[in-house]
């Protein structure tokens, strides 16, 4: 069992249903070697079918079959952009209050047989998907997991990864690729500056 979009990036996956949010973020193109999975209906349909099946198994909740249209893809790309904004915003003091419009989704609160209340996505089509995604984001925030979902600092990459470092200080989805590239670039820039100062 693997989350298809995230597997393309080779990232550490978020736990349980929270991986659904990471999976949406990772539908973006993988640098130059894999396409944006929300660019065309064939790729998007394959992705959403696989992803919702896996989410249903992981969460223990039923997921509908979504049949996507071109309009749905535009909505899904907007939704992905909203999540990118929320992940990047994080708990930073320089972020303005109310930078995003409210997420216009509904959920049901359903008590189970053991006395726990579950947040259950509702709606139809892409609105159901939005409900599931925002529900998982809320649950991840309540569990203290949200700050560990990050976008790689490499602007050409931006893969969403789950930071498992002890102090939550990771900035690269893969230090050996994106981290080394950035460090090499910084080293060359420092060297260029030194050469200019001391010709």
**pLDDT (tens digit, 9 = 90+) per residue, 42-67?**
999 999 999 999 999 999 999 999 99
State the Cα–Cα distance between residues 162 and 160, nearest whole angstrom: 7
User: 156-159: long-range contacts (C-beta < 8 A, 24 or more apart)?
Assistant: 156/31, 157/9, 157/30, 157/31, 158/28, 158/84, 159/9, 159/11, 159/26, 159/30
Is the pTM higher than 0.75? The answer reads yes
Q: Are 86 and 136 in contact (CB under 8 A)?
A: no
Tens-level pLDDT at each residue, the chain (199 residues)? 689 999 998 888 999 999 999 999 999 988 777 899 999 999 999 999 999 999 999 999 999 999 999 999 999 999 999 999 999 886 544 444 444 555 678 889 999 888 889 999 999 999 999 999 999 999 999 999 999 999 998 888 888 999 998 898 788 767 666 855 555 555 455 566 666 676 6
Q: Are 121 and 128 in contact (CB under 8 A)?
A: yes
- The structural domains of the chain, ordered by start, are 4-197 (1.10.3300)
């Amino acid at each position: 069992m693997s989350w298809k979009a995230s597997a393309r990036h080779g990232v550490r996956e978020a736990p349980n249903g929270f991986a659904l949010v990471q999976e949406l973020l990772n539908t973006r193109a993988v640098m130059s070697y894999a396409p944006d999975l929300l660019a065309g209906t064939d790729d998007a349909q394959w992705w959403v079918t696989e992803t919702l099946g896996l989410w249903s198994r992981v969460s223990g909740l039923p997921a509908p079959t979504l049949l996507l249209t071109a309009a749905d893809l535009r909505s899904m790309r907007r939704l992905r952009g909203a999540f990118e904004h929320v992940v990047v915003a994080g708990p930073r003091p320089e972020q303005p209050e109310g930078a995003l419009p409210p997420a216009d989704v509904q959920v049901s609160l359903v008590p189970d047989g053991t006395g726990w209340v579950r947040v259950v996505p509702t709606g139809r089509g892409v609105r159901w998907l939005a409900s599931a995604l925002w529900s998982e984001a809320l649950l991840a925030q309540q569990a203290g997991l949200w700050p560990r979902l990050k976008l790689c600092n490499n602007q050409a990459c931006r893969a969403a990864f789950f930071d498992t470092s002890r102090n939550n200080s990771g900035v690269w989805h893969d230090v050996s690729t994106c981290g080394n590239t950035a460090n090499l670039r910084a080293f060359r820039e420092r060297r260029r500056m030194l050469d200019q100062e001391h010709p």
